[in-house]
Amino acid sequence: MRNDGSIQYPAGMSRVLVVDDEDSIRKTLRSILERQGYDVVDAATVGEALSFLKREPPPDAALVDLKLPDGDGTGVLENIIRRRLPSAVVMISGHASIRLAVDAVRNGAFDFIEKPMDRERLLITLRNAVRQSELMKQSRPEHPPEFPTVSGRIKTLLEEAKRFAISTGPVLIMGETGAGKEVLARWLHARSPRASGPFVALNCAALPENLAESELFGHVKGAFTGAATVRKGKFLTADGGSLFLDEIGDLSLSAQAKLLRVLEEGRVEAVGADRSIPVSVRVIAATHRDLDAMVADGSFRRDLLFRISGLPLRLPPLRERPEDIRFLAQRFLDETRTRQGWPIQSLSREVLERLRRHPWPGNVRELRWAIERAALLAGPALPEVRHLVLNEHENTDRPTGSMESARRRAEVKSIESALKETGGNVTSAARKLGISRSRLYEKLSELRLDPSLYRPSRKK
C-alpha cells in the first residue's frame, strides 16, 4: 500500500493495449497504468489496433472501447480469439452499450468496465485480466485441447468422434442444454483438417426470425430498414473453418431452406445481394430438441435433417455420467481459486456427497455456476455445503423442461432478493450473490430483469 493509502497493484512489465478514439481517455489510461508499472501502447481505431496485433507480440491484456470510428471494438476481440492470442480483452462501454458489452463477454471478453471508469475497479480488473493471460500462456497446448472427462461413456463417444473429426461432412450433436455440446464441437474442430481456420459459434435460439438470414449469410447496405452497413455473416466469417450452429431446431423454416441450399451448393448469397459467393465451411450443428418429432409435426425440414445428421453424436447428460461430477467440480473449483489467487484445495466429502445427489437439470453449465458461486461465497476458505445454492425440489423423474423452469424461477428469486436488499445496485447485488458484475449483467439480460425497478428513488 502506498503512503497515500491507495492500493498498489504490481504489474511487472505486462503490456496493455488501450484502444479508444478519445485522446483524453487514452492519455489518462496511459498515465494511470504506467504509474502501476504497465507497458502501455495505444490505438485510436480498430484498424490501428489490428495493425499492432499483426506486427507486435500480443499484449497481455487489452482495454477496448466498444464504439470506435471505423467499427465496434468487438472486431479487435474477434481477431484475438480467432488467432488464439493469449490476450485477455476488457471491453469499455457507455451505459447505452451495456447489452453489447454483455454479449462481448459471452463471446470471449474477460470482462467489461462501464464509463466513467472507477480507478480501483479498473486496476483490479486489469490485474485479474493479466493473470488470466498468464494462465492462457501456461496452458497453451502443443496438442489439441482435451474434452474434460473421466467418464468411460464419454471416452467411448470421443473415440467415435475422432473418426468424425477427420471427415468434412456436417456433424449433429444431440444432448440436453448445458451438457457440453459446444465444448465437443470445439474439440472436433481442433482435431479436424480445418483446425488452423476459424471456429465460429452461433446460438440459433437467440436469433430473431427476421434477422436470422442476415446473421447467417450477411446483408448488403440498404437491404432492409436498419441495414446501414455491409454485414459479412457467420458463413463467410467461418470460411476455411467450422461453423457451430447451436440449437439448430430453433431456426425458422425460411432460414432452414436457405441453410440447406448453402450446404448443397457451397455458396452464400447475402440478403439483398444479386450474386452468390463460394464458401468452404464445415457445419457442426447441435440441438436439445427431438428433430425427428419436429419433422413429423412440420416444424423442421426432413431434407435438412438428412443433410446435417450423417455424422450424429449423442452427448449424455451429467446425471448419466456421475463420475464426471466430482472431476468437473474440482476442476471448476481449481479454476476459480486460481483466478482469485487462492491456494488450491480439495472439496470436502460432504460437499461431494451433496453434489452427487443433485439431479443437475442444467448439466455441466449448472455445476460450473454452483461451484464458482460456492467458491466465491466461501472466499479463501474451503467451500461448505451451506455455500451451495441448489434447488432441493428438483427430481430427475420430472421432464427436463420442468426442471429448467424450476431452476429459472430459483435464479429469478435469488437475484430479485439481492436487488431488493441492495436497492437495485448491480455491483452490490453481484457481490452479495458471489458472482462477477458481468455475470450478473448477463443473467439480468437472460432473465429480462430491470435493476432500476428496485431503486428506492423510482416513482411507482
> Is residue 459 scored above 50 in pLDDT?
no
Mean pLDDT of 309-317: 92
Task: Decide if 68 is inside a domain.
Answer: yes
Residues 289 and 328 in one domain: no
Residues 107 and 78 in one domain: yes
Residue of 372, 385, 387 whose CA lies nearest to 435: 372
Task: Decide if 43 is inside a domain.
Answer: yes
Which residue among 263, 281, 316 closes a domain?
316
pLDDT confidence of residue 407? 62
Q: Please give the residue that has the higher pLDDT: either 242 or 417.
A: 242
Mean pLDDT of 413-418: 85
- pLDDT, one tens digit per residue, over 418-441 is 888 888 888 888 888 877 777 787
Q: Any idea which residue has 452461433 for its cell?
A: 202
Residues 190 and 311 in one domain: yes
Q: What is the 3-state secondary structure (H, E, C) of the chain?
A: CCCCCCCCCCCCCCEEEEECCCHHHHHHHHHHHHHCCCEEEEECCHHHHHHHHHHCCCCCEEEEECEECCEECHHHHHHHHHCCCCCEEEEEECHHHHHHHHHHHHCCCCEEEECCCCHHHHHHHHHHHHHHHHHHHHHCCCCCCCCCCCCHHHHHHHHHHHHHHCCCCCEEEECCCCCCHHHHHHHHHHCCCCCCCCEEEEEHHHCCHHHHHHHHHCECCCCCCCCCCCECCHHHHCCCCEEEEECHHHCCHHHHHHHHHHHHHCEECCECCCCCEECCCEEEEEECCCHHHHHHCCCCCHHHHHHHCCEEEECCCHHHCCHHHHHHHHHHHHHHHHHHCCCCCCCCHHHHHHHHHCCCCCHHHHHHHHHHHHHHHHCCCCCCHHHCCCCCCCCCCCCHHHHHHHHHHHHHHHHHHHHHHCCCCHHHHHHHHCCCHHHHHHHHHHHCCCHHHHCCCCCC
- pLDDT, one tens digit per residue, over 179-233 is 999 999 999 999 887 887 889 999 998 887 778 888 898 877 766 666 667 778 8
> Is residue 15 scored above 70 in pLDDT?
yes
457 pLDDT band, cuts 50/70/90, is low
pLDDT confidence of residue 401? 47
Residues 160 and 301 in one domain: yes
Residues 410 and 355 in one domain: yes
d(CA 319, CA 403): 13
Residues 116 and 180 in one domain: no
- In order of 33, 204, 209, 272, 394, the CA distances from 213 in angstroms are 43, 11, 8, 11, 38
With a pLDDT cut of 70, the percent of the chain lying above it is 88
Q: What values do phi and psi take at 254, rounded to 5?
A: -65, -45
d(CA 243, CA 284): 6
Q: 89 near 136, Cβ under 8 Å?
A: no
- In order of 69, 215, 265, the CA distances from 261 in angstroms are 36, 16, 6
Cell, residue 432: 452479495
d(CA 350, CA 116): 45
167: CATH: 3.40.50.300
Q: Residue 390 corresponds to which amino acid?
A: L
Q: What values do phi and psi take at 200, rounded to 5?
A: -115, 130
Task: Decide if 63 is inside a domain.
Answer: yes
> Is residue 5 scored above 60 in pLDDT?
no
- pLDDT, one tens digit per residue, over 235-279 is 998 988 899 999 999 999 989 999 999 998 888 888 777 788 888
CA 135 to chain CA mean position, Å? 18
Give the pTM.
Answer: 0.57
Residues 265 and 193 in one domain: yes
Phi-psi region of 30 (alpha: psi -120 to 50; beta: other; left: phi over 0): alpha
pLDDT confidence of residue 27? 93
Q: 19 near 49, Cβ under 8 Å?
A: yes
Q: Which range is least confidently modeled, 64-68, 127-131, 289-293?
A: 127-131
Which residue among 281, 316, 351 closes a domain?
316
> Is residue 52 scored above 80 in pLDDT?
yes
pLDDT confidence of residue 266? 87
Task: Decide if 1 is inside a domain.
Answer: no
> Is residue 2 scored above 60 in pLDDT?
no
d(CA 66, CA 372): 28
Which residue among 114, 139, 164 closes a domain?
139
8 pLDDT band, cuts 50/70/90, is very low
pLDDT confidence of residue 339? 85
The residue range of the domain holding 198 is 152-316
Strand partners, 231: 219
- In order of 20, 44, 46, 195, 313, the CA distances from 145 in angstroms are 34, 35, 30, 11, 19
Cell, residue 271: 440478403
Task: Decide if 147 is inside a domain.
Answer: no
> Is residue 109 scored above 90 in pLDDT?
no
- pLDDT, one tens digit per residue, over 150-187 is 999 999 999 999 888 877 789 999 999 999 999 999 99
Task: Decide if 146 is inside a domain.
Answer: no
55 pLDDT band, cuts 50/70/90, is confident
The count of domains in the chain is 3
Mean pLDDT of 2-23: 67
Residues 302 and 168 in one domain: yes
pLDDT confidence of residue 283? 95
91: CATH: 3.40.50.2300
Residues 20 and 93 in one domain: yes
Mean pLDDT of 11-30: 87
Residues 158 and 269 in one domain: yes
pLDDT confidence of residue 275? 84
Task: Decide if 50 is inside a domain.
Answer: yes
pLDDT confidence of residue 256? 94
Strand partners, 42: 18
- pLDDT, one tens digit per residue, over 324-344 is 999 999 999 999 988 888 888
d(CA 194, CA 188): 10
- Strands, sheet with 171-174, edge to edge from the N-terminal-most edge strand: 199-203, 242-246, 282-287, 171-174, 311-314
Task: Decide if 390 is inside a domain.
Answer: yes
Cell, residue 60: 497481455
pLDDT confidence of residue 225? 63
- pLDDT, one tens digit per residue, over 385-406 is 999 988 654 433 333 444 455 5
Mean pLDDT score of the chain = 84
Residues 300 and 326 in one domain: no
Residues 175 and 92 in one domain: no
pLDDT confidence of residue 7? 40
